[in-house]
Structure 1
Amino acid sequence: MQSLIQIGHGMMFTLEAIFQLPTAFKVPQELLRQTHKTLMGALPLAIIAGLAIGVVVWIHLRDALVNVAGPSAMAYLPQALALAVVVEFAPLCSALILAGRSGASLAAEIGSMKQTEQIDALTLLGIRPMQALIAPRILACVISLPILTVFTAYLAIYSGFLTESLTGSMSFSQYQSEVLRVLTLRESLPALGKTFFCGLAIGISGCYYGMETEGGTEGVGKAATQGVVCSIISVLILNVFLVKTIQFFFN
């Protein structure tokens, strides 16, 4: 019974958060501050992830293509890398980074504000917490994740070229030409589109568990853990469903 009640609360919170999301533009300074905080917090991890993804995917794809089709298949390696990174690796890794970083921080921050009665004080002053606190933080996640994804994909693609440059078998102009040949809007836009939904899920998960915090400092820690877990699970589930859904509409 308790689980059903919690699911109901979560659904009501989600619907209210989505409905109130445009009100974040009424507090532009807070929205910009939260977006900057979210981006700068996740950017170092995105840099490391992008560089690592490009190198690792390049090495594995090169070995696989050479073993299956011979050395002549190396010409298609930039295209394969670009598609793998842009369509799947960059969006998913960026979303998981943001889930781990912001899912915990949002839950802990809002949970601490609730425990210290700051949210109650805002309510007494006639300020709606959903508009002043929740909406800007959720919208910041929605804005930040596509930017992180583009940045991660860019680094991954060109760290792949740096790996290839060690062998000296392909020039930068050839590499770039092959990458741009395959990265059409039909491939890029669906991948970027699903990041908006993942960012929304991350922001809602973190804020929801922050607002549900109970039990002092121990409750804040529990809320942070729940925020991370729910954010990651939401990202993985959305990634599965959105891939097929977006492909259906674009095809």
Structure 2
Amino acid sequence: MAIPGASLVVSTLPFFRMAWRSTQALGGVARQPAWLATPLESALVKAMPLALVAGAAIGVVIWIHVRDALVRVAGPGAAMYLPQGLALAVVLELAPLTAGLMAAGRSGANLAAELAAMRVSEQLDALSVLGQEPERVLVAPRLAAQMLALPLLTGVIALGALGAAGLAESLSGGLTLTRFWDEAWRVVHLRDLLPALGKTVIFGWLVALFACYHGTHAGEGTEGVGRAATRGVVSGILAVLLANVFLVRLIQAVFPG
């Protein structure tokens, strides 16, 4: 007699086994920094231009909408609160979430396709034959790279967003760029920055884990590689969005006010 839900449990066991083993192996990555070089270059260095452009675009768009909303609701004088509102929105939510989604779309596809190609070419089997665990030598360094890269990319996005918004404000005849910058950072404190950056570490772990799982469990042939990349992106995006809802509530409970 079939046990209800048994198939679901069995199907998720490989995922949780990979999560456990690769997370345990993160300490080994710290002792082998050379393992991080290539994954970190891909996750951080090559993603910085995109992060800067994304941040600037977000900053200008949010500046347009928030400025218009403040003027509509409270009159022209309310625009003086624009820098503070933008800074809190960008630092607390927009920059971390954008970094997570960007990583899911960019790195998720790359990691899943890379490991899927290794599976199709039987390189993963060769590692196992040599006594090397893929979770330790392949997955853990990629997890560590994403966990290190996302807080830094979040900072790049936040700086790009606030810099672009401040420039737009000064060009529109409002606050000067220096005044905008000073007002923006006046309301952002360390208790705001640390939780926001902390949750991006979790985003990086989730994105890399789902991408690596789908890559190492890909089907045969080029079609399997393509499906793995798609699943890596979709699952990474969903994981970031759902985790963000939970983490926002958790952060508010731990850091009230």
Per-residue deviation, 1:123: 2.1
1:245 is matched with 250
Counterpart for residue 22 of structure 1: 27
Please give the residue correspondences for 1:1-251 in structure 2 after superposition, counting only pairs within 5 Å.
2-251=7-256
* d(CA) in 1 for partners of 2:178, 2:146: 35
In 2, are the aligned partners of 1:17 and 1:130 still within 8 Å (CA)? yes
Sequence identity percentage: 47
Per-residue CA deviations over 1:7-59 (Å, capped at 9, x if unaligned) read: 22212221222222222123311212210111133223212211111100001
More divergent stretch after superposition (56-65 vs 121-130): 121-130
Q: Secondary structure at the match of 2:132?
A: coil
Does the 8 Å contact 2:169/2:176 carry over to 1?
A: no
Report the Cα distance in structure 2 between the residues aligned to 1:130 and 1:7, rounded to whole angstroms.
16
Letter of the 1:121 counterpart: A
User: Normalising to structure 2: TM-score of the pair?
Assistant: 0.93
Which deviates the most, 177-186 or 38-47? 38-47
The runs of 5 or more residues in structure 1 that have no matched partner are: none
How far apart in 2 are the matches of 1:27 and 1:7? 30
Shift of the 119–27 alpha-carbon distance from structure 1 to 2, 3 Å rule, reads farther
Q: In structure 2, what is the Cα distance between the partners aligned to 1:4 and 1:124?
A: 28
**One-letter amino acid matched to 1:52:** A
Contact 1:27/1:132 (<8 A) preserved: no
Give the drift of 1:2: 4.3
Asked if the contact 1:41–1:101 (Cα under 8 Å) also holds between the matched residues in 2, the reply is no
CA RMSD of aligned residues (A): 1.3
Whether the 8 Å contact between 2:167 and 2:177 is mirrored in structure 1 is no
What is the DSSP-based 3-state SS (H/G/I as helix, E as strand, rest coil) of the residue aligned with 2:29? helix
1:231 to partner: Cα distance: 0.3
Letter in 1 for 2:81: Y
Structure 2: any 5+ residue segments left out of the alignment?
1-5
Distance 2:90 2:161 in 1: 7
Contact 2:21/2:136 (CA < 8 Å) preserved in 1? no
Contact map agreement 2:151 2:201 (CA 8 A) in 1? yes
**Are the equivalent residues in 2 in contact too, given 1:104–1:206 (CA < 8 A)?**
yes
Paired with 1:147 and 1:198, the residues of 2 have a C-alpha distance of 13
Shift in Å, 1:148: 0.5
TM-score by length of 1: 0.96
Q: Which amino acid aligns with 2:162?
A: I
When structure 1 is superposed on structure 2, of 131-140 and 21-30 the one drifting more is 21-30
For residues 16 and 27 of structure 1, the distance between their equivalents in structure 2, rounded to whole angstroms, comes to 17
